[in-house]
Amino acid sequence: MNTTNNLIDALRSQQGWQAKYRQIMLLGKQLPTLPEMLKTDDVLVKGCESKVWLHLAWDDHSGCLVAVGDSDTRIVKGLLAIILAFYNGKRSDEINQMDVVSLFEELELIQHLSPSRGNGIHAINEQIKTFASA
């Protein structure tokens, strides 16, 4: 699995939106596909135009987040890969201090996404934050 630093470096090395877009699509291809039996309505992220399935759990030994997900569109799957790399392996106190939307702004991705995709990023972020706060 990609680490956040690897993803950031890969995206920063790309010049221009089209190159970043291709990189995001490649990240989506690298994200494992969820088995169909895990793509249930109860794990669909509400607020996303595309279908996004998100499974969240805490590792019993480390107390860190284990998140897996999938999407029905390649670009969203790539964006999801960035979000999962950002939050996976973090404790709830760390997650509560983090904000993936800031990362998307720093990487100059948010301004190139449609408003509905931006809303989806916020919805995924909120679902993870809510899980971490529970």
Q: Which residues are catalytic?
A: 48
68: its two tokens = 């897996």
Q: CA torsion 72→74→78→80, rounded to 10°?
A: -10
Is the distance from CB of 58 to CB of 131 less than 8 angstroms? no
Helix (H) or strand (E) holding 56: strand 52-58
Q: From CA 43, how far away is CA 63, in angstroms rounded?
A: 21
